Structure formats: C-alpha cells, structure tokens
Amino acid sequence: MDYKVIDKDKYYRAGVYRHFTEDCKCSVSMTARIDVTSLVEFSKKQGSKFYVDFLYLLCRVLNSRDDYKMNYLWQSDELVCYDVINPIQYIFHEDSETCTPVYTTYYDSYGEFYRHATEDIEKAKESREYSLSSGDHPNWFDASYISWVSYDSLNVELPDGYLYFLPIVNWGRYREEGGRLMMPLTVRLNHAVADGFLVANVYRLLEKEIERFVTNA
C-alpha cells in the first residue's frame, strides 16, 4: 500500500478542504440510475457474472482520478492519496441472513480481477465471520450490492466529526425502463475532498467505461 502525502496548503481544493474539515464537517451523496443494458448483454453473452463485471468497472473509475483515492490519517493529521484503492465486497448468506465482508484486490487486468474476485466470493460463502480491519486495509472502499430492491434513494450516515474520505458505493437491482435496463447507484464522498461535480462525475465516467469495455471486449 503506497500513497503520497498532499500538502494541504497547495491542495487544489485547499479552501474547500479547510471549510469542510473545520467549519462544516459533512458528506455529500447522490443516488441516480445508470444504463447498464449493454453490460448486462455482455455478461450474458460471455457467461460472466454481471455483479463482478460491474465491480471491476467501478474500481477502474474510482482509480482513474486522485480525488476518489483520498484519505485522512488522523494519527498524523495527514491528507494522503493512495496509488490504488480496492473494494470491500459483501457476500450475503441466505440461510443466516447475514453478510461476510470480503477484501478483494483490484487488478487493472479484467481477467485477473475477475478470477480473484470470484475466488474471494466462493471462499466467503464458507464463512459466517463479520470481520473488518481498517488498520490492516487502509486503502479499501465499501462496495455493496443491495440485490433485493431497485431503490430510489439511499443514505449512508457517518458522524459529522468523522473524516472518512474513501468512497462508499451501493447499488441495487436493475429494472426495465423504456426498453433500457436502469440500475440505481449511490455514491457517498466526504465534502472535504469532493463536491457535487465529483460525485456526479462517477456516473459520467461509469457510462464511458461501460461503453469502452463492451465495445473493446
């Protein structure tokens, strides 16, 4: 796990960072639907898991820009940017109605990521342990699939004083709307390192990444 320390005085969002870490500690989140029609078709044609395919593309988007890889190290009062962030996925157990968190490493190679992610899923199916360790996994972000409903709104609340900068991303079931398959996606970021543009940009980048992926596959 490598990172660079950001000089807060020279940070391009220095004024915003100061305001939202001192005066008004808060997060910003958005729920919108994205068109996943072509990705669903790709997954069915390839015989791959749509969930893993989407998780891969989400990781690519969040690793494509430094703004999404920021963190605050309270021990040293440092603003840092990781070289890479990886997803924590959650595996649901039907029998116990509980989840097992899974630390999955992001690989830029689709094939390598897909293989490791599916292996992690199968291992997690044998476990009932709920164990998270941010100290051992500082550059992991939450990526949670809410498979039971195609929701319209979702909020993830954290204490205002808790400067948690890594993305928290949730998505639900896709549903047909006007002949297209639309999927709800919720993105939460801390306002100190992100504003409405940067949150909305995740959706814009995902649309482009999906198109690139299915076209070049």
Q: Are 169 and 85 in contact (CB under 8 A)?
A: no
| Residue 175, both tokens | 């549903």
| More confident site: 106 or 124 | 106
What's the pLDDT tens digit per position in 121-161? 999 888 877 887 777 889 999 999 999 999 999 988 887 67
Domain count, the chain: 1
User: Looking at residue 160, what is its pLDDT?
Assistant: 63
Helices (H), the chain: 14-18, 37-46, 50-62, 110-124, 196-216
pLDDT at 84 over 70: yes
Angle between helices 196-216 and 37-46 in degrees, nearest 10: 40
- Per-residue confidence band for 55, with pLDDT thresholds at 50, 70 and 90: very high
Instruction: Report, as an integer, the average pLDDT of 55-60.
Output: 98
pLDDT at 162 over 90: no
Q: Are 203 and 110 in contact (CB under 8 A)?
A: no
Instruction: Report, as an integer, the average pLDDT of 72-90.
Output: 96
| Residue 197, both tokens | 């543009």
Instruction: Report, as an integer, the average pLDDT of 57-64.
Output: 98
Query: What number of other Cβ atoms are within 10 A of residue 69's Cβ?
Result: 23
The CATH number of the domain where 17 resides is what?
A: 3.30.559.10
User: Looking at residue 132, what is its pLDDT?
Assistant: 78
User: Looking at residue 126, what is its pLDDT?
Assistant: 87
Pairing assessment for the beta strands 78-82 and 3-6 based on DSSP bridges: antiparallel
Instruction: Report, as an integer, the average pLDDT of 160-178.
Output: 92
User: Looking at residue 1, what is its pLDDT?
Assistant: 66
| Residue 215, both tokens | 């076209």
**Domain span at residue 132?**
3-216
What's the pLDDT tens digit per position in 175-210? 999 999 999 999 999 999 999 999 999 999 999 999
pLDDT at 212 over 80: yes
User: Looking at residue 97, what is its pLDDT?
Assistant: 92
pLDDT at 50 over 70: yes
Q: What's the predicted TM-score (pTM) here?
A: 0.95
pLDDT at 63 over 90: yes
- Describe the strand order of the beta sheet including 3-6 as a list of residue ranges: 3-6, 78-82, 70-73
| Residue 75, both tokens | 């021990």
Q: How far apart are the first and last CA of the chain?
A: 30
Q: Are 216 and 39 in contact (CB under 8 A)?
A: no
- Per-residue confidence band for 211, with pLDDT thresholds at 50, 70 and 90: very high
